[in-house]
Structure formats: C-alpha cells, structure tokens
Amino acid sequence: MTTQPTYVAGHFLLNGRTAVITAAAGAGIGGATARKFLEEGARIVIGDAHERRLGESAAALAEEFGADNVAALPCDVTDQEQVNALFAFAAQRHGGLDIVVNNAGLGGTADLVDMTDDQWSKVLDVTLNGTFRCTRAALRHFKDSDTGGIVINNASVIGWRAQRGQAHYAAAKAGVMALTRCAALEAADFGVRVNAVAPSLAMHPHLVKVTTPDILAELTEREAFGRYAEPWEIANVIVFLASGYSSYMTGETVSVSSQRA
C-alpha cells in the first residue's frame, strides 16, 4: 500500500544557528534541506556549482524567509579554493558557523567492464573527495573557533548494498561513510559531531536525468511503501542530526530508507 507523507512544519529546532549547505540549488535534497533549515530558524549560506540555478534558488528563499537569512556563493567542491572561499564567506557573513551539510554528489550508470577512468574519477572526485575537502574545511574552522559544530554528510544505502552499474557511486558513498566515522573520532576532541544520512531513493530532477525509467521502477519496487522518498523527508533527518536531539550521536550513518530487509 502506498502512503503519502504529510509535510512536517518547522519547530525552530535550529533557531539562531548558521549553516553551510553544498549543492543546494534546485529541487533535490540540498534544496529541501535549505528550506527546512530556514523553517527551523537557521540562517543559511548555500553553495552550488550551477551559478544560475544557485542565484535563482537563493533569490526565491530570500524573498520568502528574508534576505538577512539567506546568502549564496558559487562553489565547485572539486576546487579547494572555492570550498575555502565558501566557508570564509559564511563565517564573515554571519560572524561564525555552526552546521555544515555536505550534500554535493555525482552519480551515473555504467557497468564496470565499460567504465572509463574519467567516469570513475569524476564521480569519486565530486562525491568522496568533495566531501573530504568540505569536511576538512569545516573541521579547521570549528577547531580554530573553539565553539563546537556539526557536520552532516550525505551518503547512500548503496554504500552498503550492491547494485549493477553503480561501482563508482557505491565506492564513493562507502568512502563517505568511512570518512564520517574517522572524522568523528578526531573532531570529538574539539566538541564537533560528524554524522551522515544514507537515503535509499529520493526523487529529484537530477536523478531522473542519470537513471533509466526501468531502473527507477525497479528501485521503487524495492521500497516497502511502494514509493520514493520526497527530498524533504531526507531533510527532516538532517535537521534531527543538526539539532540538540542528536547530541550524543557522532560517527553514525543513519539509513533513511523503506527498503525491505
């Protein structure tokens, strides 16, 4: 039986906090997280490699939630200088930084026997190396500021489970999970928590572009509810990890999934 979710209103769980969210332009998990954070009372700085879409997203959010609460800076997470600039801009704009959501990732479908070095490297550089660059920048900021902080990475259930044509993406997401665990141990020394979410299937326009209808139908069939997740349902769990309700959690990857066991 397919159940339709009811949108959950904000409860100001992040009131007064400042957050950086990568790959936050558009209608995917990053965009949904940006909106959810604003509904929960946070100020946000969003980054994305797509400058036009980023500007449009920031303008729409600023009109709804106030220009003082929304800022944006183009950021390609494969470029360390742009990553550093995003974090410096966020800290300067709001006088500090509390939360970082590393959402940037890149997928695709190719059997391993046909996969090129470029296909492999591109997915790994955005999805795993990009998360590394942003996590490193976040931890350097939090350590120097001595105010604590929270990092949340976007992994995937495919980091645990095999799927044909997804060797590069699965390897990258498994790497994000391992990076999360190791970073959490180090970051605990200066009061910072590092966790991750692992969605199974959240529908958004980019996924439609890189996945065939047959694969989408197969993935949806695996879900117990017989439907994909709405991006805001993943964002709800990210809000939980960014809030005081998860104060004892670090190094964890939370599966956001209705897949059958």
Provide the 10 A C-beta neighbour count for residue 243: 18
- 216: nearest Cα among 235, 234, 201, 206: 201
| DSSP per-residue string spanning 133-144 | HHHHHHHHHHHH
- Cα–Cα distance measured from residue 123 to residue 127, given in angstroms and rounded to the nearest whole number: 6
Residue with tokens 């957050």: 19
Q: Of the residues 169, 228, 245, 248, which is catalytic? A: 169
Residue with tokens 């009109």: 63
What's the gap between Cα 252 and its chain centre? 15
- Decide if 7 is catalytic: no
Tokens representing residue 40 in the block: 């929960």
Write out the H or E segment, with its range, that includes residue 123. Answer: helix 117-124
For β-strands 149-154 and 253-256, DSSP reports them as unpaired
Tokens representing residue 104 in the block: 């940037």
Q: Which residues form the catalytic set? A: 169
